[in-house]
Amino acid sequence: MYNAIKKYAPILFLSTAIVSGLNYFAYQAIIQIAQAQFGTIPISLISEIITTIAIHLIALSVLPLALSAKNRTLTGYVALIILGGIYITYMTGINAAGPAIAIVAFSYLAFYGYLKAKSIYSYYRTK
């Protein structure tokens, strides 16, 4: 049970943070208008916000969780970064998918370069 929590909790936490933060800013003006009109937040608005957050959270985290369940944790995080960029683009209109893909590509190239440099160093050290 502890391994499952350790495996899935970070993905769920990051997904929840992205979805909650963006939906908070999306609904902030609507909440303030409702408070000014009614003096409180209507139950229908609260249920709409919770439903929207739940649906978006499921849509954002299903692929990374499925990859993590197949013991592809690193691939799950990469999928989460790319899907998070796409989600940010969808919610705000600011292109975040392109920079997210570029960051993943440069990180992969840096990791590959590190492994190559390490193997070359080991080769010449044993020689």
- Residue extents of the structural domains in the chain: 2-96
pLDDT band at 2 (very low <50, low <70, confident <90, very high): confident
Q: Where are the alpha helices (H) located in the chain, listed in sequence order? A: 2-38, 43-69, 73-92, 97-126
- CA dist list (Å): 63 to 2, 12, 51, 89, 127: 21, 11, 20, 18, 46
To the question of pTM greater than 0.85 for the whole model, the response is no
pLDDT of amino acid 3 = 80
pLDDT of amino acid 22 = 92
